[in-house]
Amino acid sequence: MPTEFISLTFPNENNELAPKTGLPADPNYLTRYARTLDDYGFKYTLLPYDAGGFDPWTQGAYIAAVTKNLKIIIALRPNTVYPTVAAKALATLDQLSNGRAVVHFIAGGSDVEQAREGDFLTKEQRYGRLEEYIKILRRAWASPEPFDWEGTYYQFKGYSNRVRPANGKNTIPISVGGSSAEAYRVGGSLADIFGLWGEPLKDTKEQIDKIYAEAEKAGRTDRPRIWVTFRPILAETEELAWAKAHRTLDALNGNQAAFHKSFPNFTPNNSAPQNVGSQRLIEIAKRGDVQDRALWYPTVTATNARGATTALVGSPQTLADAILDYVDLGAELISIRGYDNYNDVVDYGRYILPLVYKGIAEREEAAKAKAEGASTEAAPAAEAEVAPAAAAAAAPAADALVETAAPTEAAAETKTEDASAPVEAATEAPKEAAVETAVEAPKEGAVEAPIEALAAPIEAKEAPVVVPVEASVVAPAPVEAKTAEVTVQETNGDSKVPTESV
């Protein structure tokens, strides 16, 4: 499967840098944001969930109506919708969007958040319920024939789902996220997609191996596609990117009270997160601020690892190379979202996606050339093995031909007088080697123009406009000492806290 990009969609301009309270859904902003994702080649958008937030189902239907290609990922907690209702709702959305519906399951990573909507199961029970829920969906989509269910968490008789998934399919893609043993087991055995938060390459590889092991244990012949989420901080140069990263960090540290007033369902910074994914991110942050190529962890500690909070910092090429490192590990779905939501997604579409796709194409060409080279090297060796045997077989036949071809005396006397006519040698002119030098036209760089300032104003009611990021910086500002001192050293949650995303 190809590498594809995901980003969240937001119903208004509220963000973590300047949180505001009580902003309503803005259909003009939502349309503009979703169409920008569509225009720049993002393949999926996630509609997040929290107990007191905007409804993902309604937003998803709206986005499907104003976009052409964007696939709609509905974040779903099993305690909020009965599985038979979800089966027909998702199939209806799939038909109306011409096959673009996806569901991402959140088992529930916080007892406090789950209790807000009447769910008092333990973590182990929540994963048992999720497993049962997925099996019911699969059965409901597979056939319109009525069926009964007598499970631990759900019981019904004679249910028939007559709303089929679009385009003749018998299922809709199912995603599961988490970093616990229960998440690996359920997602590895049943999911089409498994979501992780951004962790160092070594840790991510270990998680992927565990997911694949569960898939194999379940007898699957395929594996879940791996989805990894990052928060890129992008600028034209490395120096500008790190300066921007520290400005972002200062804003996150300075607006905690405003953020929790705007998003009250998040775990307060003075409380330890309950979900395993956030716990892992906080532990990894203790190893150092910068890990691998560009993975930055101060955004994790500043926010108490509330959801996907791991940043990638650098120029477009650095960020593209960092993402390609995860592609090489096996990640096929890359989720990127920033802190200044609309402006960041424009910059990602203009500067990161083209470089990542270029890098993937170069890898594919290199692999093809290597395979062709191996094939070319193998051919002479095969010919060398065949030649002695062929020569040995041909020798007796050649001797017999010489004996029968000797001219007789009678034939010698019948030479005609004009036999002495000159015979022109048929000499063939040497052929020039038809080797043409393949000169490839230089490709345009992915960076078309300097990335402009984050603070550029947005006209909320205009059609999608490309708004660059970092324009206010006239010349590269020197990075403060704290940036230079960052040392380079050698995620996803058990299930998401409010407004979860993978």
CA distance 338 to 205: 24
CB within 8 Å of 349: residues ≥ 6 apart? 36, 37, 39, 40, 41, 42
Q: By three-state DSSP, how is residue 224 classified?
A: coil
What does the DSSP 8-state code read for residue 115? H
Domain ranges in the chain? 4-369
Q: By three-state DSSP, how is residue 37 classified?
A: helix
Mean pLDDT per 10-residue segment, the chain (502 residues): 93 92 95 98 96 96 98 98 98 98 95 94 97 98 97 98 96 97 98 98 98 98 98 98 98 84 66 92 97 97 93 98 98 97 97 98 94 74 54 46 39 39 39 38 40 40 40 38 39 40 42
**pLDDT at 419 (0 to 100):** 38
**pLDDT at 489 (0 to 100):** 41
Q: Which letter, b or e, does each residue of 61-89 get, where b requires 16 or more Cβ atoms within 10 Å of its Cβ? A: bbbbeebeebbbbbbbbbbbbebbebbbb
Q: Model pTM?
A: 0.76
Q: Which tokens sit at 188?
A: 């590895």
CA distance 155 to 143: 18
Please, are residues 208 and 183 in contact by the beta-carbon 8 Å criterion? no
**pLDDT at 303 (0 to 100):** 92
Q: In CATH, what number does 4-369 get?
A: 3.20.20.30
CA distance 32 to 38: 10
Q: H or E segment at 238?
A: helix 238-254
